[in-house]
Amino acid sequence: MKSKSFRVHPATLFFLLSVLLVLVVWVLDVYGVSIFNPHTGKFLRLQSLLNAEGARWVMRNTISNFSSFSPVAMVVTSLLGVGVAESSGFIDSLANRLTVLQNHPKYGLALMILLGILSNVVGDAGYVFLVPLLAIIAPRIGIHPVMAIIVTLVSVSCGYSANWMLSSMDPLLARITQDTSVHFIPQDFNTGSYANYYFMGASTCFLTGVIYIVSQYILKPQLKRKGFVLKQEKQRLLSHREIRSLHLALGIGLAFLVIIGWLTFSSIGLFRGVSGELVRSPFIMGALFILSLSVGLMGLVYGFSIGKYKNDYDVVSGLSWGIRTLGIFFVIAFFAAQFFAYVSYTHFDQFVVLWVGQWVSSFAITSPTLALIVFIAYCALVNLTMVSAVGKWVLISALFLPMFWGIGVDPNVVQAAFRVGDSATNVVTPFLYYTPFILALLEKYIPKAGFKFIFNHTWYFSLIVLFTWMILFLIWFQLGLPFGV
């Protein structure tokens, strides 16, 4: 008799997690369990859904929970542009011109990882734009699409804090650090937006190398043993018309991005914030739309130039290319949206962060190095239940910054340690908002793909990134190198 492994559909998994959450919170609420929140100065008590108010909240908000679930709108916006670019043949022609990557897939893999890490400069766009785009391009440069999805997911999530540029998260974390440490004396430390710039810049190169090695020597053989081997296809030579159309599309797409950049970074500042900053500006908030529009525009120009598109019906068909295959995503997203909304309503994620945090802080460790090691491990652990970095840092900074200040560790160092632990376990938590979309992408290549498949191929990435990045952090700290400016 053949043994069949037990599988739970992702939609069922989120439903069961919701039921379990409701029951756990109900039990804790019955016993009146609460935890002190140092940020608000008040006790935080869990809100049960198994009472009259909770039942009314579920009835009022079930539909709005789904409609306000941001990954749904982000995925649709992303795939509109990618769909036009793919259906028109633009992506295929572009990949055919990347002869260096075709002949040397290792270069393509390294570039894929680097782009994934750098994508956090525009927030979460990497999850919904870069992952599907690279999954389409990957077979043309000698990489299996399943490997491309996993590697890009790992790069975007585990490298979420690292960048050569100021990411959208830097100013937000810095502002929280400043507010928490405003009373520390003396104020001889830096808590600005660039407080971790040097360390995160070096981490970008470091993580690219680490993820590349793990991908090449662990993930690739693992997928090969399971039959995920890319069949080599003969490279197609582009016609003169295709080459001309490709150059025209690339030229117009580049011109569009240059115009957007000029309107943002010039003295005009059309897409900057009211105060002139990029944080929460139209440029950052609309980054995914800009990327999707630019790729879609290049696909549109290529399609009409090559003759693939002849009227608006062809264009609309291209726009729906990617969305047609995502019916399963909307089903999973509905149950995921309810689960995440229940977590937010009950305050369960905040409760876990504070409860574990107060237990860890009670160790009263006086060695700065040992305290930082324990702190990074703590951040990695609680990230499994609360993935919002800003939301976590609001709670954690109020709890740990005074403690570390008391043993001689500057707030910017603690903030860097938090970012190491916070990023490393992003890829292995079912609480990641974009898990339903990744599962929907995998469904195309793996029938009945579930969270178990993602976990089995990413857990070692998480552990290796956490361990090696922690070592880099400790070396940096012990050498007394500046973390930023």
- Which two tokens mark 349? 């994620």
pLDDT score for 285: 85
Q: Compute the average pLDDT of residues 347-368.
A: 91
Residue 79 and residue 323 in contact, taking contact as beta carbons nearer than 8 Å = yes
Whether residue 118 lies inside any domain: the answer is no
Q: Compute the average pLDDT of residues 265-282.
A: 82
Whether residue 179 lies inside any domain: the answer is yes
Query: What sections of 347-449 are H helices per DSSP?
Result: 348-361, 368-382, 389-406, 411-424, 435-443
Q: pLDDT tens digit string along 369-424?
A: 999 999 999 999 999 988 888 889 999 999 999 999 999 899 999 999 999 999 99
pLDDT score for 214: 97
Residue reference for tokens 């047609």: 324
For the ranges 14-28, 111-125, 186-200, 217-231, the lowest mean pLDDT is seen at 186-200
Q: Compute the average pLDDT of residues 311-317.
A: 90
pLDDT score for 3: 44
Residue 363 and residue 408 in contact, taking contact as beta carbons nearer than 8 Å = no
Residue reference for tokens 């992003």: 426
Residue 45 and residue 25 in contact, taking contact as beta carbons nearer than 8 Å = no
Residue reference for tokens 């599309």: 249
pLDDT score for 388: 83
Q: pLDDT tens digit string along 283-302?
A: 888 889 999 999 999 999 99
Whether residue 300 lies inside any domain: the answer is no
Whether residue 414 lies inside any domain: the answer is yes
Q: pLDDT tens digit string along 153-191?
A: 999 999 988 998 887 788 888 888 988 888 887 777 777
Residue 77 and residue 289 in contact, taking contact as beta carbons nearer than 8 Å = yes
Whether residue 485 lies inside any domain: the answer is no
Which tops the pLDDT comparison, 331 or 5? 331
Whether residue 421 lies inside any domain: the answer is yes
pLDDT score for 345: 95
Domain holding 33, by residue range, is: 10-37+144-229+326-479
Indicate the number of domains in the chain: 1
pLDDT score for 56: 96
Q: Is the pLDDT of residue 5 over 70?
A: no
Average confidence score pLDDT of the chain: 89
* Residues 69, 139: Cα–Cα separation, whole Å: 31
* Residues 230, 252: Cα–Cα separation, whole Å: 33
Q: pLDDT tens digit string along 416-443?
A: 999 999 999 999 988 888 988 998 889 8
pLDDT score for 101: 64
pLDDT score for 2: 45
Residue reference for tokens 């909304």: 341
Whether residue 102 lies inside any domain: the answer is no
Q: With the C-alpha atoms ordered 463, 464, 467, 473, is the resulting torsion angle positive or negative?
A: negative
pLDDT score for 208: 96
Q: How confident is the model at residue 140 (pLDDT cuts 50, 70, 90)?
A: confident
Q: Is the pLDDT of residue 118 over 60?
A: yes
- Which two tokens mark 353? 């962060």
- Per cent of the chain over pLDDT 70 is 97
Q: pLDDT tens digit string along 10-21?
A: 889 899 999 999
CA 111 to each of CA 100, 105, 106: distance values in angstroms, whole numbers, following the listed order: 12, 10, 9
Whether residue 160 lies inside any domain: the answer is yes
Q: Compute the average pLDDT of residues 138-152.
A: 91
pLDDT score for 456: 92
Q: pLDDT tens digit string along 56-67?
A: 999 999 999 999
pLDDT score for 194: 87
